[in-house]
Structure 1
Amino acid sequence: MKKCQHNLLITLISLTLILLSACSSTPKHDYDLNYDFSKLTSFSQIVPPANNDPLSANRIQLAIETALSKQGFIKQETNPDFHVTYGFKVEDKPKDSGFSIGLGTGSWGSSGGASIGTSVDVPVGSDTAKIQTIQIDIIDPKTNKLIWRGSDRFTFDEGGNAKAEETNATVAKILAQFPPQKPN
C-alpha cells in the first residue's frame, strides 16, 4: 500500500507542476534575422500618440527605460543606435469558473488511503478580470525599419501598486529577450 501512496504522491506533484507552468506566461518575440544587434549601445524612446490610459502608458515608458538601462544600454536622445516604442491594450477576460479538483493521500496508523474531491466556487462581484498586453518595438533609426518586436501580457483585477509591479515585471520579461541570441 505504501508504494501505491508514494506513486500517487509523485503523480500529484507532477500534475501540480504542470498546471503551474501552464499558468505562467512566456513572452513572444521576433526579429530581423540579418540585423547585427551586437553594435547596439544607445537608445531613445518614441512615445506613441496619447491614449485613454496615461497611467499605464507612463508606467510602461518608465519600465522600458529601467529595463534597458539595467541591461547596459544608454538613453541618448541624439543619434541613438535604436529607437524603442510600445503599444498596449486592455481586454476583458472571463474569470475562472472556480471549479477545482483535489487529490490527496494520507495514512492513519497502519492503514492508508487516497481521496479525490471537487469544489465549485461561486464568483462574488465582477465576473471578469482584465488582461493587459504590452508590445515593444525596436526600430533602426537609419532605415526606420522594425528590427525586433516582443510582447507579453498579464492579468489584473485592480490598478495601483499591484498593476505597476506587474507592468514592470512584464516589460522586464519582454526585454530580457533583447537583443536576440542568434543560434550559431
Structure 2
Amino acid sequence: MRLTRFSILLTAVGLLAACSTTPKNDYDLNYDFSSLKSFDLRLPQSVDDPLSAERIQNEIKQQLIQKGFNESASSPDFHATFNLQTQDKPQNSGLSIGLGTGSIGHGGGIGIGTSVGVPLGSKTAKIQMIQIDILDVQSNRLIWRGSDSFDFDSGGENKAQDTQKAVGNILTQFPPKR
C-alpha cells in the first residue's frame, strides 16, 4: 500500500515537472544593476502576432513599474525590448519506459513496460517563446536577457494569462541577484 502511494506521488511530480518550463537568463557579470532606476520600452521591428506583442508590451511595463522602475521616454537608464516567436509544437513520438507496482490478495509485483508513441490528433498546438532584452542606454549594448516559452492550442483568455505568466516568470529574475 505504501509503495503504491509512493509511485502515484512520484508519477504526479514527474507529470508536473514535464509540463512546466523554467525561464532562462544571462547577464553581464560586471554590470552594476543597482544604478538602474528608469526605463523605456522599445517595440520589436516586426511581429507575426500583434495581439501577443501588445500583451507582452503591457505586461513588461507593468512588471518593471511594480519592481520600482520608472518609465521615462526622455532620460531612461535602460531600454527594455522583446522578441516573440510562435512555432508549431513538436509532436511526441518517442519511446517511453514505465515502472508500475500492484498487488492481488496477499501477493504483489513490480512490472516494467515500454511503449512507442504514434502522433495522433490535431497539428494545431503551438509554442510561443518570449525573449526580453535589457540594454544599457549609454553603450546600447545588451546587459541582461531572459526567455521563457509556453504551449497553447488556441488564443483568447488562456493564452493571455499564459503570456502574462511567462513575462512575469522572466522578469522575476531581473535585476539579477548576486
TM-score w.r.t. length of structure 2:
0.84
Aligned pairs for 1:141-152 within 5 A: 141-152=137-148
Query: Given the alignment of the two structures, is residue 66 of structure 1 paired with residue 62 of structure 2, yes or no?
Result: yes
2:3 pairs, out of 7, 13, 17, with: 7
C-alpha separation in 1, matches of 2:4 and 2:20: 25
Equivalent position SS for 2:39 = strand
Whether the aligned pair in 1 keeps the contact of 2:27 and 2:144 (CA below 8 Å) is: yes
Q: Counterpart amino acid of 2:57?
A: Q
Q: Label 1:154 to 1:88 Cα distance change in 2 as closer, same or farther (>3 A).
A: same
Q: Label 1:152 to 1:45 Cα distance change in 2 as closer, same or farther (>3 A).
A: same
Whether the aligned pair in 2 keeps the contact of 1:88 and 1:132 (CA below 8 Å) is: yes
* Residues 8-46 of structure 1: per-residue CA shift (max 9 Å, x gap): 322331232133223310001000000000111111001
Q: CA deviation at 1:93?
A: 1.2
How many equivalent residue pairs? 175
Whether the aligned pair in 2 keeps the contact of 1:42 and 1:80 (CA below 8 Å) is: yes
Give 1:158's aligned residue.
Answer: 154
Identical-pair percentage: 47
Whether the aligned pair in 2 keeps the contact of 1:12 and 1:103 (CA below 8 Å) is: no
Equivalent position SS for 1:170 = helix
Q: Counterpart amino acid of 1:75?
A: E
Q: Where does structure 1 lack aligned partners over 5 or more consecutive residues? A: none
Give 2:133's aligned residue.
Answer: 137
Whether the aligned pair in 1 keeps the contact of 2:85 and 2:129 (CA below 8 Å) is: yes
Q: CA RMSD in A?
A: 2.8
* Residues 95-123 of structure 1: per-residue CA shift (max 9 Å, x gap): 446x896957578xx85867879998984
Give 1:170's aligned residue.
Answer: 166
Equivalent position SS for 1:64 = helix
Give 2:79's aligned residue.
Answer: 83
